[in-house]
Amino acid sequence: MKGIKIKGVLIILVLTLAILFGGNRLIDRYKVNNSLQNNLIAIEGLEDVNMDKSNGRYDFELSLGSKGDLEVIFLESKEKIEETLKGESYRIKFKDSESDTLKEVYSGINLALYEAIETGEFVKLGDRIEENKAIYNLDRGEVRVDKDYIYLVLGYEEENLYRVIERGSNRRGGGIDG
């Protein structure tokens, strides 16, 4: 009888600990996800945030409003994500229109983009974007550069393509998807 009671107590103890640790982990994850999502959506020009965690990495898909500034939104989002996740792996992607025209323009400037990263000749990249803007009658064709990233926006009517491309090996715990 004593053997049965000890086994029962051990089983109940193990189940109780599993429930407590699992519940605590779920509550922590919920708090992090909700507070981070609320902090991100508060960024001016950011319309929507989709978050997913799979394979040990957080994936963020950000939707910009029509007046959103890609560079500002990216840098603010990156800062808030790193502040909250404290070293966990993540990836940021901007939601684009599924426009064949914009994909074709991006494909056409892709070589100039990576050439500019290697050579530092960003003026040529700007010229190439302006050429394509005229050829395809784009409404927007913008490129900005800072010490870490290139920010590219292509727009045609209501469709937009956003890319943030890393210039160097400054990746710490997160990244971008271009």
Q: Which CATH architecture has domain 2-94?
A: 2-Layer Sandwich (3.30)
% pLDDT > 90, the chain: 43
Tell me the DSSP string of the chain: -HHHHHHHHHHHHHHHHHHHHHHHHHHHHHHHHHHHHHHHHTSTTEEEEEEEEETTEEEEEEEE-TT--HHHHHHHHHHHHHHHHTT--EEEEE-----HHHHHHHHHHHHHHHHHHHH--HHHHHHHHHHHHHHTT-SEEEEEE-SSEEEEEEEETTEEEEEEEE-SS--SSEEE--
**What whole-number distance in Å separates Cα of residue 112 and Cα of residue 104?**
14
Task: Kindly report, residue by residue over 107-120, the tens digit of the pLDDT.
Answer: 989 989 989 999 98
Q: What is the pLDDT of residues 117-157, one digit of tens each?
A: 999 889 999 999 999 999 999 999 999 999 999 999 999 88
pLDDT-based confidence at 12, cuts 50/70/90?
confident
Residue 170 has pLDDT above 50, yes or no: no
Locate the domains of the chain by residue range.
Answer: 2-94, 100-171
Q: What is the pTM of this model?
A: 0.77
Task: Report the alpha-carbon distance of residue 48 to residue 40 in Å, rounded.
Answer: 9
User: At a CB cut-off of 8 Å and minimum separation 6, what does 106 contact?
Assistant: 152, 154, 161, 163
* Mean per-residue pLDDT, 43-70: 88
Mean of the per-residue pLDDT values of the chain: 85
Q: Which pLDDT value is given to residue 20? A: 78
Q: Which of 95, 99, 96, 97 is nearest to 60 (CA)?
A: 95
**pLDDT given at position 128:** 92
- pLDDT for the residue 28: 59
Residue 176 has a pLDDT of 58
Q: Does the pLDDT value for residue 171 go beyond 50?
A: no
